[in-house]
Structure 1
Amino acid sequence: MKCSDGQCADFPTPPKGKWRKWLPLIAIVALMAFVFAMGWHEHLSFKTIGLNYERLMDFIEANFATALSIYVLAYIVVVALSLPGGLIMTLAGGLLFGWVIAAPATIFGATVGATIIFLAARSSLGEALAAKAGPWVCKLKNGFQENALCYLLFLRLLPVFPFVVVNVVPALLGVPLGTYILGTLLGIIPGTYAFCVAGAGLGSVIDAQNRIYRDCLANNPENASACPYTVDTSALVTKELLLAFALLGIVALIPVIIKKWSKRNAAV
């Protein structure tokens, strides 16, 4: 994409009345609002998974392909609608299917869901931003696109930026679809495998919490609110794990740093 006179030529200025380009984003926002209004997002919790753990395992054992398909579709919806609960879904995948199967299934679902929101944002917002972009925005776009894959890997690997932000920003910066898919696919692999492995070891934790919760209900039959259901996942997200992801993100930027350093030396 090249810019001149404060305009970005990568996207044509959209004709007036082209309201249809907003439909994908409107549909996503409407579905998101509907899910929150119905309270369905509240079911993305360890309480729901834990209390139905045995039934879920029985269903998976009897209908493995169907259960795995439902999990992947649910993950696509969670990511595409930017619903909270991605971490719980990943841990649950490891718990229910084992990390060997859950990790690639999760990576596929997350990549498809992220691509949906990327395409919706690009269709609805990309052209409008490009048409109104000033020189600074154009310079930012050119710099990002020049090393798009490295920057995407950095954003995906560094556990600082919200997943939804990393899904939308590349669309606004004109990143090619193929580059976005590849960067997303590669960038989420380390974290997905780490949390699926962690989830695969939560079976004993769920069993223990179920016993505590049911004992509490037996002692407080008329006051269920006095029996919290908590699974502490803070121990899974350690400083060492975050540091490892941060270092991987920095490694992804090394080619960019080398390229800029080489250009600077060549200009001297």
Structure 2
Amino acid sequence: MTQDAPRDPPLPQAAEAPAPRRRRWLLRLLPVVGIALLAAAILATGLHESIGIEGLMDRRDQLRGFVAERPLLTALGYAGVYVLFVSLSLPGAWWLSVMGGFLFGWLAGGALAVVSATTGAVLIFLAARTSVGEAIVKRAGPRLTRFLKAFRRDAFSYLLILRLLPVIPFWVNNLAPALVGARLSNFAAATFLGIIPVTFAFAFAGEGLDRMMSEERLDQAACQAAGHASCGPSLAISDLLTPQLMAAVAIISVLSLLPILFRRRLGLAGVRPPDDEE
């Protein structure tokens, strides 16, 4: 009876771990990389610049015709463009709120803009959280872990304050919460409620844009009749966002913050708000 030759010991399984780990990282990064590439392509071709006041003036009658003939299809197309702009973090998404008011009136246009902006924000939030947000949270050190716990305790309040007082760019407010592990429900609700004042203000300004564009066309015609060489559009966004309108938005935002600040003050004083009691 012969003995079997000794077999080589099996290779340690850990040696195969780096490759699957790298593949998982690449798969996680795909959404963000895809969004970045698509945004770069749009910026490089200048397609985003067609969504502006000059483009709106050039296509004014055509867009009005679309709304009159196919209101539902036009609304869906508008919402799709808005979601695309926000999810790709393209500049000028706020201008689409103005266009919403111009095309559909301040109420319907503002509502469409709020829903579309929230949808786009949720998409980029999910992409960022899936790609890098979860990994950052898992690898957080003690100091970052304490910060994350404090943030999550009042995440909705913090997020709502940032939305109501838009001192930070919209796209930053979409990405940062994903990187610190904010819950999707808090993010979506705070975004939806927080952007209502400024979005409806832009839509309200857009509803009055038609009259201003008519006056602009008359001014251009008079300029050309006088033989002037340069008769380009002089209408600017500052003509729409009057100090009175922006003051009203600021007042509404501050009033909306009062319940949050009151709740925070009660919490710091060790008093539980009535709705938190069992």
Instruction: Report the TM-score when normalising by structure 2.
Output: 0.82
Instruction: Choose 179-188 or 30-39, whichever is displaced more.
Output: 179-188
Is the 8 Å Cα contact of residues 159 and 246 (structure 1) preserved in structure 2?
no
Seen in structure 2, the aligned counterparts of structure 1 residues 52 and 211 have a Cα distance that, compared at 3 Å, is farther
Give the CA deviation at 1:173. 1.4
* Counterpart amino acid of residue 262 in structure 2: I
Aligned equivalent of 2:131: 124
Which of residues 39, 47, 53 in structure 1 aligns to 2:46?
Answer: 39
Question: Is residue 2:171 matched to residue 1:152?
Answer: no
Distance 1:67 1:219, change over 3 A: farther
Contact 1:151/1:252, CA 8 A, preserved across alignment: no
Using the alignment, how far apart are the partners of 1:251 and 1:217 within structure 2? 55
* Cα 1:240/1:124, change in 2 over 3 Å: same
Residue 269 of structure 2, aligned match among 231, 242, 261: 261
Per-residue CA deviations over 1:120-143 (Å, capped at 9, x if unaligned) read: 110112123123322222122111
The residue that corresponds to 1:230 in the other structure is 234
Structure 1: any 5+ residue segments left out of the alignment? 1-13, 264-268
Is residue 19 of structure 2 the alignment partner of residue 25 of structure 1? no
- Give 2:61's aligned residue: 54
2:74 to 67, 70, 73: 67
Contact in 1 for aligned 2:201/2:249 (Cα 8 Å)? no
Higher relative contact order (CA 8 A, sep 6+): 1
2:211 equivalent in structure 1: 204
Rg larger for:
2
- Give the counterpart letter for 1:155 in structure 2: L
Deviation by residue 1:6-62 (Cα, 9 ceiling, x = unmatched): xxxxxxxx9443110001101110110000111101112111001211111012101
Paired with 1:152 and 1:256, the residues of 2 have a C-alpha distance of 14
- Quick one: distance in 1 between partners of 2:143 and 2:236? 44
| 1:86-120 deviation digits (Å, cap 9, x = unpaired) | 22111111011101211111111001100011001
Residues 228 and 262 of structure 1: CA distance in aligned 2, closer, same or farther (over 3 Å)? farther
Amino acid at match of 1:55: Q
Equivalent pairs, count: 248
User: CA 1:213–1:256 in structure 2 vs 1: closer, same or farther (change >3 Å)?
Assistant: same
Per the TM alignment, residue 237 of structure 1 is displaced from its structure 2 partner at its CA by 5.3
Question: Does the aligned pair in 1 maintain the 2:100–2:206 contact within 8 Å?
Answer: yes
Q: SS of the counterpart of 1:234?
A: helix
Deviation (angstroms), 1:215: 4.6
* 1:148-172 Cα deviation digits (max 9, x unpaired): 1111110100021110011011111
Residues 82-91 or 70-79, more deviating:
82-91
Structure 1 residue 77 corresponds to structure 2 residue 84: yes
Q: Percent identity?
A: 34
| Residue of structure 1 equivalent to 2:7 | none
SS of corresponding position for 1:262 = coil
For residue 236 of structure 2, what is the amino acid of its counterpart? Answer: D
Q: Distance in 2 between matches of 1:84 and 1:237?
A: 22
SS in 2 for 1:92: helix
User: SS where residue 181 of structure 1 aligns?
Assistant: helix
Instruction: Return 5+ residue gaps in structure 2 as ranges.
Output: 1-19, 272-278
Match of 2:17 in 1: none
The CA deviation at 1:257 is 3.0
1:166 corresponds, among 163, 173, 185, to 173
- Residues in 2 aligned to 1:152 and 1:247: alpha-carbon distance in whole angstroms: 16
Do the aligned residues in 1 keep the contact of 2:198 with 2:249 (CA within 8 Å)?
no
TM-score normalised by length of structure 1:
0.84
Distance 1:123 1:251, change over 3 A: same
Q: Output the amino acid matched with 1:17.
A: R
Alpha-carbon distance in structure 2 between the residues aligned to 1:258 and 1:138? 25
CA RMSD, 1 decimal = 2.3
